Every structure is written in C-alpha cells, then in structure tokens.
Chain A
Amino acid sequence: MTGNDPDGITAAPRTLAVTDLSLVVLIGATGSGKSTFAARHFARTEVLSSDFCRGLVSDDENDQSASRDAFDVLHYIAGKRLAAGRRTVVDATSVQPEARRQLVNLAREHDVLPIAIVLDVPEQVCAERNAARPDRASLPLHVIQRHQRELRRSLRGLEREGFRKVHILRGTAEIDAAEIVTERRYNDLRHLTGPFDIIGDVHGCSSELESLLAKLGYDDGRHPAGRTAVFVGDLVDRGPDSPGVLRRVMDMVEAGTALCVSGNHENKLSRHLRGRRVQLTHGLAETVEQLAREDEHDPEFRGRTATFVRDLISHYVLDGGRLVVCHAGLPEKYHGRTSGRVRSHAMYGDTTGETDEFGLPVRYPWAEDYRGAAAVVYGHTPVPATSWINNTLCLDTGAVFGGRLTALRWPEREIVDVPAERVWYEPVRPLVSEAPGGREGRPLDLDDVAGRRIVETALMGRLAVREQNAAAALEVMSRFAVDPRLLAYLPPTMAPCATSTEDGYLEHPAEAFASYRADGVRQVVCEEKHMGSRAVALVCRDEAAAAERFGAGAGVTGTLHTRTGRPFFDDAGVTEAVLDRVRSAVAAAGLWEELDTDWLLLDAELLPWSLKASGLLRKQYAAVGAAAGAAFPPAVAALEAAAARGADVGELLARQHERAADAQAFTEAYRRYCWTTDGLDGVHLAPFQLLAARDRNLAGELPQDRQLALIDRLVDADVSGLLRTTRRLVVDTGDEASVAAGTDWWLALTAAGGEGMVVKPLAAQARDGDGRLVQPGVKCRGREYLRIIYGAEYTRPGHLARLRQRALGHKRSLALREYALGMEALDRVAAGAPLWRVHEAVFAVLALESEPVDPRL
C-alpha cells in the first residue's frame, strides 16, 4: 500500500483504488497540489475544500481565524453528502491527527470507508507554488516546514487511525502519474439480477438442505435455469452435519452458483478456527467435534472452511438494489454501507440490552421501523412461519429445532420449504409466536404521515401533500377514524361537469358528454347519483378472515366508514348488522369463490341522507327553510296591505312571492333525501363500485359495465332489502342520438326528484389521446338539488350569471390526484403491502381533502 519510490524520479503509473462510496481525505502540506490533484481525479462537486469553506464563512479563503467555522461547514456538507450516499473528497491539509480523527469519525458515523491519499512533496516545491500565488505569497516558510513535519510523523499511523485504504504518493512525478480506479463495495452486487433462491438458517441440517435444493430444482448444486442460491448465514452449529452443509455451500459459492452472507455462528466459528478463545456453547461444540472427525479423511477441509468463513461478507445488495440479504436484518440506512457496526448489525441484529426470561437477548424490532424500498430477506430469529413485515422477511423457520427449512424464490416471492426430519436440537425457548412487530407490521409511525410528504403513485407519479393539510388529516385520522388497519381506502372527490350555459342550468350533461368526446372517450356510463352519505364497506367472509388479513379484533368482520374515515355508526352492533347483510349477499351471489377472496371492499352510498347528516340538516338546511317559512307570509301580507293603500310596492311584492317560492322549492329539495328510519328499517346501501379483493384492484381493472353487472348480482342476491340498485345508461359520446338519450335520461331522473348522475368512462383508468389520465367521472347535479348547494335562489338569472364564473381547475386537479392516490391505496392493499404503505396513500387522500377548493363544487 505504501509508495516505494522515495525520490519521485521515475514515473511508473500508480493506480489507486478508491471505493465508490467513501470519504477520501487528501493529506499534504500547503502547496502540495491537493486541489489540482482533486480537480484532476474527482468530480468538481465531490470535492470539499477548506479554503472554499473559509471563504464562505469569512469572505477570505486564507483567514486562519475562520478555520473553526469553516470546518464546521465542511463537516456539515460532507455529512449531508455521505448520508445521501455520495463519495466525498476532503481537500484540506489534514496533516494533524486531530483533524483526521474528526474525518474518520464522520466516515464511521455514515458507515462509509475512510480513505487516505497522501501527497508527500518536497518543501521546496510547496514553497515555490505558494510563492506563485499572490494570496499565499506572504506565507512564512515555517508553516510549510511544520506541515511537513506533522505529515512525516503521521505516515505510519494512518491505518491505525482508522483509514481502510492508505495511498501514499511521494514526489511530484508519482503524483502526476497516479490514476484513480473506482472500486465497487464488496457488498454491492446490484448488477446480479438472479433469479435467486434465498435459503434460511440451515444449522448443520445437511439432509434437509439437500431436500430443499432438490425441491428448488438444483442438481448437485447447479440449477438448470441458472438460478443462484443465496444463503442467509448460520450454516453451522447445533445440527448433525455442519461439515456436509459447509462443503455443499462452499462448492456452490466457488462454482458461482451460490452466494453466502455471514451469520453470527460463522463469525464465531471463524474466531474459533483462528485460535481465539471462544466458548463452545450454542451448538458450536457439535461443529467442532464434527470438524475434528472431518480432519481424518479431508485434512484440507478445516483450512478451507477457515478461509471461507473469514471472508464472508455480512450483507449483499442485489438485483438493482431491490433486494438486500443479510443474516439478522438491516435498516435501510445501512444498506450498501461499510462499517463495523453495519457488519455487526447484519450478523447480530440490534438488541435492546435486555434479556428475556430464558436469558436470551431481547431483539430490537427493527422491521417495525423499516420503511425502505428494498426487500430485506434475513434469518437469525426462528419463527414458526414466514411473513412479510414492512417489506422484510425472516426465513429462519427453525429447521434444526424441528421446524422447516425455508427458501424464498426471488423475484417470484414464492416460499418453498421442507419439513425438518426431526428435532435435532432442543430450543432454549419456544419459537416466538410471531416475527418482530407482529404480522401486520404495526405500529404506524408518525414519520409515515406527518409533515410535507411525497407519495409515489403508479398513475400520476409523485404527489405532494402539504404540511398544514397533513396536520389537519392527522387530527381527524387520530381522533375520529376507524382503526387504520381496517381503513384501506378513502373515496376521492369528484369534479362537476363543465359549467353549462344552457338557460336556467348551472350543470347539464351535455357538457360532460362533450368533454369526454373531446378527450377521445367514446363509451361512457351514466350512473344515478344516490342522495345519501358516502360509505365505504370492508366486508370479510368471517371473523377469522378479518383477523387474519386485517388484524381485526374479536367480533369485528370489517368496517363501514364515511369519506373521512369516521365510523358510519357509533354502535358497532349496527355496523356488524349491515356487514352481515352485505356478506350474505356476497355469499349468495357466489362472489367469494368467483373473486377467490375472503374480503371485499365496496364503495357505496348509504341512504337516507338524514341518517348521518341529521345534525347538519336540522341546523343548516331545515333551519333555513323554517326561517323563510316564518318570515315570508307576514312580509307578503304586509306588502299586500301596503299595496292596497296605494304604495308603490308592486315589484317588491312580486319579488317576495318569487323568493318565497324559491325557499319552498329549497325545502322540498332537501326533504326528498330525508325519511324516518327505525333500526335498519328504511336504511339502504347502494353499492356502485367494487374496489378491491384479495390480489385484485377491482376498481382499477374492471370496466364499469362489468362492475355494475357484479353489483346487480349482489343486489339480486340480497334478501334483506338493504341493497339498492344503481340505475345506469351507457352513452356513446360520438353519437348524437345516444347523447340526446343520455340528456333525456338525466332530465327524467332529476325531474323525479333525483340528485343527478355521474358520468364515467366505461373503461377503467381511461386516458385521452395523449395518454393522460382523464377525469374518472364527473357529476351532473340536478337543477333542484343544486338549491341545497348554491342557495334557494341560485336559479335567478343574476345569480346564475355570477355562479357560471366558477373555476373548476383546482377541483379537477384535486379529483385526479385523489383518484391516483385512491388507486394506489387499492393497489397496495390488494397486493398485501405493509400497512404503512396502504395508510400513507389513504392518509394522503384525507389530507388533500382539506385543500382549499370551492366547497360547492
């Protein structure tokens, strides 16, 4: 590692290996050419110079009194870069041990390798270079001499100081001829894409390993399809044949058909084989004994094993960064990092420092906190069955304790396992019932939802949630919503159709048909808009299914919640009664089998409106009607009397008559959506969309006609009278007659007191000619209904003219963004994504609902 050309006369090119993620510390006296060297070999932004930082804080690059602040700045920036995984080169003299110590610590703090490159240049050269620079011309020679002294004194100790690579370049010729070669980290195997078969803790169960390899399709350590086995470590100890396992794995690794990371047992074995004093506990004694027997017929084996276990890497990043394999699990910030603590965490996990009643260390449930994009597959902690938690999977199913030996096929994510042939080793404690964190990866963390956030969606890419909206959503979600595990979806808002210019109308279906036609959407379906309250129903086949899939408590088979996630009914018994009726209909319609699911998420409208909105109705709507009803008759009577006396109040009187009629129409408008209920008598649920079921985002894949056909079957199968059908009409936006039929349908619907209709593209997730998502639906509300929204008198020409200036842009944008988030939530819940992933999208919908948009739209 050290240069061997002290005179710097010959110029044999030197190649210096520099790891791709590292902290490179240039060491050299002032004038030794560090900046020039850095500029030649590294990107401009990779290099942080202390002179530059001095300039930043003091406006003078040579102001030594600013050094302290300058280095604070330098360390801060370096820290940010390293945290982001960017190689950083520090261009400062770094000739003093204290200066280097800080940098080594910084590297360790961010788990990257500290690398030293020393530029050892004769004093004379440094002096000449400084003299040539006007700003340094006055630098006294003794400064350079001091630097040189300190540098010389440092040279031998650099590795001991913690630098993992040390390159010393002596003399200008060697410096000029040096070349930097960027090296990958040992753990970086992102270029390997497998496919892989990741195999759990074997612990000397050679026979089970052979069975598993056979079941996976390997033939004598080689897979015909070129798959690669990846062992998560703990090959040895406790079991009957650790040498047999080692031989198989070492052969495969050497042949390039397998990878293996180090388990804690390999680490301990390695220490034993290197002659360290290690207690022969936890099954090591068995291995030692088996190895001793092995010595007799294969004397090479011990040495081969020692080298193998010594050189094992503690974790690998594979498949383009999508997969991380290690023994004991690894938080995201350690992925691809290189430090003692990363290695230690990868092999031993993180313990809380406590021990349990069996004297075993209590492990920190790191997987609960895990939010990384890469899947982490690991072993170490025996569990009765594997299950994904927050995109992590523990494969140690206790083969040696009589459990199973388990493998994961990647990227297929299939589990393949074989049972243990017997209990080879009695466990100290029974296998814990669940992997850390519980099967659903509870709890949610505030960092999953709070503050300004970006949510990645398949439909619209990255969507932002602003901080104040997240704050409001946090309040409502925390205080009023149902259990987040049951809250798989919140309905997006829907924009109205473009404003109509039709006489007397603010909204008219002609606009809806025209805009879809303009978007190139021919087939649309008009669906009757039920005037109730939005309700999302999660129905599980039974209590067991609800507990298994959603972690629901006793007696809970799903949920029925409002559009902000609040329980629809205060009484859980009523909720269950509704769910029960829906469940019966699903069963009778045969949908459990047909959709191959044991849960179903439905979007629906619950009627009557007065059931949930009675407070609002009384305080707001009925009150307005009551006030008008009390005020107009005496006012009209007084005006009539005044008119009889000859006062000129004719116009005023006529106007009051009209206003009184408008107020009466308003009262009639809200009354249509109110009726008295008794228990569930008079209560109706009108499902209009099947959202999701196991493995399927039904809203995202089924066209509306197929959706409605399934729902019709539900309604037909319902014997309780709860479910209500949704009337609909398919319209071809390109066919005038069809459009006219659609308009007539809407006119008839609203004339009969209907709220209006929703027009949706027939196809799911429809796009326009440019491939952009179109509105997933627009609403056309009836003329009378809109009195409830815009006020009793909105139809008067003056008012209408004003209202027609309404701006729809923000509402339409919001509707699309919430739709994309809703689809994302459904994708995630259908795919069985970790709870925090589902919750993130659902929470974002709620947050967006608090964005400032005209509430009348």
Chain B
Amino acid sequence: MFLTISTTGSAAGPATDLGFLLHKHPDKAQVFSTSYGDAHVFYPEAEAERCTAALLLEVDPPALVRRGRGKSRGGAPDAALAQYVNDRPYAASSLLAVALRTVFASAMRGDCRALPERAAAPLPLRIEVPALPARGGPALVARLFEPLGWQVTAEPVQLDGQFPEWGDSRYVRLVLEGELRLSDALRHLYVLLPVLDDAKHYWVSADEVDKLLRFGEGWLAGHPEQQLITRRYLARRWSLTREANERLELVRLADADDVEVEEIDNAVEAEQPEGEQERPTPLAVQRREAILAGLRAAGAARVLDLGCGQGQLVAALLKEPRFTEVVGVDVSVRALEMAARRLHTDRMGERQSARLTLLQGSLAYTDKRLKGYDAAVLSEVVEHLDPPRLPALEHAVFGAARPRTVIVTTPNVEYNVRWETLPAGHRRHADHRFEWTRQEFRDWAQAVADRYGYSVEFLPVGPDDPEVGPPTQLAHFTGGGTEEKKTHGKNGPNDTNDRKKEDAA
C-alpha cells in the first residue's frame, strides 16, 4: 500500500519545497498512526531538481478484521473468508485515502504558512501508485483523471505470470503527471482512489456526503463522470446495508463451496443506491401489462406471483382492487426483503396489507399454502431453473397448487439477434439456465398442459417480429382442478351418488 509524489524544480524554486508543502521534512522518516496501521512518510530523493515523497501504509490485517466484525455468536469472527485473505495490505484502496488525509491534512487544505504562494500555484507533479485497484480498468482511470488535467499512464498488472491464461488483475500501475496544485492533487486521490477501488468496505462514517462535497469542491461539479464518482463513492454506505441485511448464511454456503457469494446470492440485481432504482425497460412494462390483461380476462381475484423477485408485478396487482388477494412468493429472502421495502409494507394500511402476503417458498417443492388460488403468474422464472428440475416445478404448480389460470412468460431466444447490445450466442441474464425458441416453449407448454389437464394459448409480448417473433413469449394456461371439483360436487362419502362411484374399486 504505497504511493509516491514527486515534483521537479530549480534553484529558484527547489523541488524540496515539497517538504514544506506536505509539512514533512525531507530528511526524516516519520510514522503516523491510523486506524488500520502505521503510515510512514519518507523521501527516497530530495534534491533541488527533483524531490519524491513516499507514503507507505503498513496495514495491520487483524485490525481490518476487527473493524469489520459484525455482531456474531460468541464473538467469533464471522464473515466470508475473503475478509481474511485480501488485497488491503498491498493495494492502494480507500485505506490509503484515509492515510493520505490523516498524514497530509494541511497540504490537502492548501495550508502552508512557510510558502503560501507555492501552495497556491500549480507544480509539475508526478504521482505513482504501483498497485491501484481499478474497477473499470485503465480506460476508466483515464476517464477519471484526464479531465482534471492529468496525463495518465495506467498499465494493467498481470494476475499471475505462471498462468498467463488468467489474464490481467484489476490492478493498474498508475502514473499521473501534470501541473497541478498539490492540494488539488491530494484531493483528487482522496476521492478517486476509493471510487476506483469500488470495493465493499468494512467501515463507513455518517458524513460521507459532506466529505465528498468538501474534497470535491472546485473539481467534482464540472467532472464529466460526476455521476459515476458520486454513485460509487456513496455506494459504500449501501454495501454496508447489504451486510447488515444478515444474509451471512448464504455467504457461508458460498464459502463452503469455494465460490464467490455473488454467484449464489444473485436473485436480486446488483443493488442500486436509494433514489436510483432501475428505470423499467419498455419490455418489462409491456410484459406486466400483458400479464395483467390475462389475469383480468380470466376474472382472477386471488393471484399468486411465483418468483415475485422485488415485487414489481405485486405492486401493479395491488393497484387494482379486483385483485383481492396477492401472494408474492420467492425463494430468495433478499428478494423478499427488497419487495417489502419497495412496497413499503411497514407503512401499509391494514386493508391493503390484508390483501398482500409475501412468502419464502420454492417451486422445487409442493406447497400447501399455494393451493386454491384463481391464478398463478410465473413471469421470467422457468429459465432460471436447470432443465432437469423443471418437472418438479411443473408438478408443484400445475399438479399440486392447481390454480385455474397459469400465466408463464419467458424470453424468446430467437429475438436475441435483435438486441444490439447482446453479443451473439449470449443469454440475456447470467443466471438464465436456458432460453427457448418459440417452438421449444410451445412444445413444453403443450406437454405440460396435456399432462395436467390444462388448455394453453400463446401470446406475443413486445413487437412481434415477422422473422424472429416477439422478445417475450407468454403462455396462458386454463384449467386446473378447483373448477372441476366444484362442478362435480362432492358432499362427503355419505352422498349416495358418490358412493356409487367409490364402490367401483
């Protein structure tokens, strides 16, 4: 965890003035204590022509862990293994930014009683950060620093020379060169190092917004990447919320399997800070409209949204009084938490909340709670299941729950060629286990309908391309057991008519 700041000078304005500007004497090596370990400042060179100050933060890994430790049983350290083996001791992350501010606070403010005019003037600066974690790669590094007047050299660092096939790491060797005021340079680093790191942090303070405004003063407002900088800088707070969400159970299961938690806990799209919720795509709106139309036409009042995710459809259903009971089911506890937050269940009136139920459930199992509803919606759900596990879903929905109406939507893979942003052969979502052609979907739906005594119709959702069909395909199943049961009427085995049939065995 290391960086150097160099400047050049002349007899008139010696480079060693850097020592005054930084308030650190070039001939001394000094130590400062920070929350995460000792920060050392020393000068590998200090000549009139050229002077370099180096900042080395010796991160104390146990301190990291201690600071990050949540409330857990018996005080045992409890989080992902990742927390113990990580790059924080080596990479120039937000910890280094904190050290910068601790060690060079006055310089960052531009205070220099000895040489006020030099502090106020641009210097020829060269800043080297040998291991800078940069999500977004060298290109983003350039986009962030160049508008500020830096000449940027960012070389990617290879992951492991022995395994060239692994490619580059997320670190770059950064060199910034330019004529800037030292205080500006330090403030750029203070804000942009964590922004590039964009990692989950183990710490956060309540005044992040203030800090951003203070250290971004004079340069952030006009920065072309202002939005990205702001979002990432403040996203840290959000990440903390995520950890506070206590989905540690999933973290542990991921750990047990040597996979990253994102691979397992991916039921909800990457989280966005409040106020920046996803803008619904036109297709999602059209899909919702098609589903609502289908439910209205079926006269459904009590509706299951199976795989409700963050509750977008549930919200739409609640807006229509005809849907007297809406049950959102998802297997992801996080998705349900998001849905509850989005629907503001904590502030919902009694009448409204009586219409709504959110349940953790799984379509890999039959579930008694799902019996007896008018309709069930499986919107963009089936493609998230491995094909060998589809029969269990079919049985749970069409065989056991048996609503009168079932509406299934799924992507039409043929349409993928029309998505300009989707590389050929790619699926629309990383967790899609398959995407069906129109024929495949029809074959599946028809077979399910035949097996479970439903009839099925198909509808396009979105523009129905003459060649490749619509982006989303919808199957509307009608049938189910409850209706039939009613028409047959069964008043218990004492009914003589019934007994005739039962005697048949």
Contact = CB atoms under 8 A, between A and B. Distances in A.
B318 interface: no
Given A631-B2, A637-B44, A623 B159 contact: yes
Nearest to B77: A854
A685 B336 CA distance: 40
A353 B500 CA distance: 13
A57 B331 CA distance: 40
Given A564-B253, A663-B90, A789-B85, A353 B489 contact: yes
A627 B171 contact: yes
Interface residues of B, number: 109
Which of B40, B42, B392 lies at the interface centre, i.e. has the most chain A CB atoms within 10 A of its CB? B42
B252 to A, nearest CB: 5
Contact of A638 (B44, B46, B72, B162): B44
Contacts of B61: 791, 793, 799
Nearest to A803: B62
Given A639-B44, A855-B80, A652 B160 contact: no
A481 to B, nearest CB: 8
B90 A478 contact: no
A1 interface: no
B376 interface: no
A645 B252 contact: no
B32 interface: no
Contacts of A450: 360, 365
B210 interface: no
A332 interface: no
B485 A353 contact: yes
Interface in B46-66: 46, 52, 54, 56, 58, 61-62
Given A631-B1, A849-B253, A618 B159 contact: yes
A625 B58 CA distance: 16
Given A476-B253, A852-B78, A446 B365 contact: yes
A610 B166 CA distance: 11
Given A446-B361, A630-B157, A856-B81, A645 B503 contact: no
A671 B392 CA distance: 42
Given A361-B504, A472-B250, A493-B256, A348 B365 contact: no
A655 B29 CA distance: 15
Interface stretch (A173-181, A437-445, A537-545): A437-445
A407 B173 CA distance: 80
Contact of A475 (B133, B163, B332, B389): B332
B257 A802 contact: no
A850 B252 contact: yes
Interface in B1-19: 1-2, 4
B203 interface: no
A471 B82 contact: no
Which of B58, B78, B249 lies at the interface centre, i.e. has the most chain A CB atoms within 10 A of its CB? B249
A381 B40 CA distance: 84
A627 B481 contact: no
A96 B250 CA distance: 58
B42 A639 contact: yes
B128 A340 contact: no
Given A445-B367, A628-B90, A810-B73, A361 B130 contact: no
Interface in B62-101: 62, 72-74, 76-82, 84-87, 89-92
Interface string A427-451: 0100000000000001111111110
Contacts of A340: 494
A807 B72 CA distance: 13
B130 A855 contact: no
A622 interface: yes
B276 interface: no
Contacts of B267: 475, 479
Contacts of B386: 567
A615 to B, nearest CB: 6
A649 interface: yes
A799 B62 contact: yes
B201 to A, nearest CB: 17
Contacts of A790: 84-85
Nearest to B85: A791
Contacts of A442: 392, 395
Interface stretch (B178-186, B218-226, B258-266, B460-468): B258-266
Interface string B153-164: 000011110110
A352 interface: yes
B278 interface: no
B4 A445 contact: no
Contacts of A626: 131, 157-160, 169, 171
A802 B62 contact: yes
Interface in A620-672: 620-635, 637-642, 645-649, 652, 655-656, 659, 663, 667, 671
B217 to A, nearest CB: 30
B503 A563 contact: no
Query: In terms of DSSP, what is the predominant structure of the interface of chain B?
Result: mixed
A132 to B, nearest CB: 49
Contacts of B502: 264, 348-349, 351, 361
Interface residues of A, number: 121
B400 interface: yes
B151 interface: no
Given A264-B505, A475-B331, A855-B81, A445 B366 contact: yes
Which of A637, A638, A659 lies at the interface centre, i.e. has the most chain B CB atoms within 10 A of its CB? A638
A157 B413 CA distance: 72
B334 to A, nearest CB: 9
A619 B61 CA distance: 18
A645 B79 contact: no
Contacts of A663: 90
Contact of B131 (A443, A627, A674, A791): A627
Interface string B472-491: 00000000010011001110
Nearest to A556: B388
Contacts of A676: 163, 165
Which of A428, A567, A639 lies at the interface centre, i.e. has the most chain B CB atoms within 10 A of its CB? A639
Given A445-B368, A623-B171, A642-B42, A852 B90 contact: no
B279 interface: no
B250 A533 contact: no
B373 interface: no
A380 interface: yes
A99 interface: no
Nearest to B333: A471
A475 B58 CA distance: 40
A671 B161 CA distance: 11
A630 B130 contact: yes
Given A353-B488, A616-B260, A649-B42, A282 B504 contact: yes
B45 A344 contact: no
Nearest to B384: A479
Interface in A560-588: 562-564, 566-567
Interface of B: 1-2, 4, 27-29, 40, 42-46, 52, 54, 56, 58, 61-62, 72-74, 76-82, 84-87, 89-92, 128, 130-131, 133, 157-160, 162-163, 165-167, 169-171, 173, 246-250, 252-253, 255-260, 263-264, 267, 331-333, 360-369, 384-386, 388-389, 392, 395-396, 399-400, 481, 484-485, 488-490, 492-494, 498-505
Q: Sorted from nearest, which 6 A-B pairs have the closest CB atoms?
A: A472-B249, A641-B44, A850-B249, A478-B362, A627-B90, A630-B131
9 contacts: A282-B505, A353-B485, A353-B488, A355-B488, A622-B166, A631-B92, A631-B130, A642-B54, A676-B163
Interface of A: 264-265, 268, 279, 281-282, 328, 340-341, 344, 348-349, 351-355, 359-361, 380-381, 428, 442-450, 468-469, 471-480, 482-484, 493, 533, 553, 556, 562-564, 566-567, 609-610, 612-635, 637-642, 645-649, 652, 655-656, 659, 663, 667, 671, 674, 676, 788-793, 799, 802, 807, 810, 846, 849-856
Given A281-B500, A471-B333, A802-B62, 7 more contacts: A474-B331, A533-B258, A635-B2, A649-B29, A649-B42, A851-B252, A855-B255
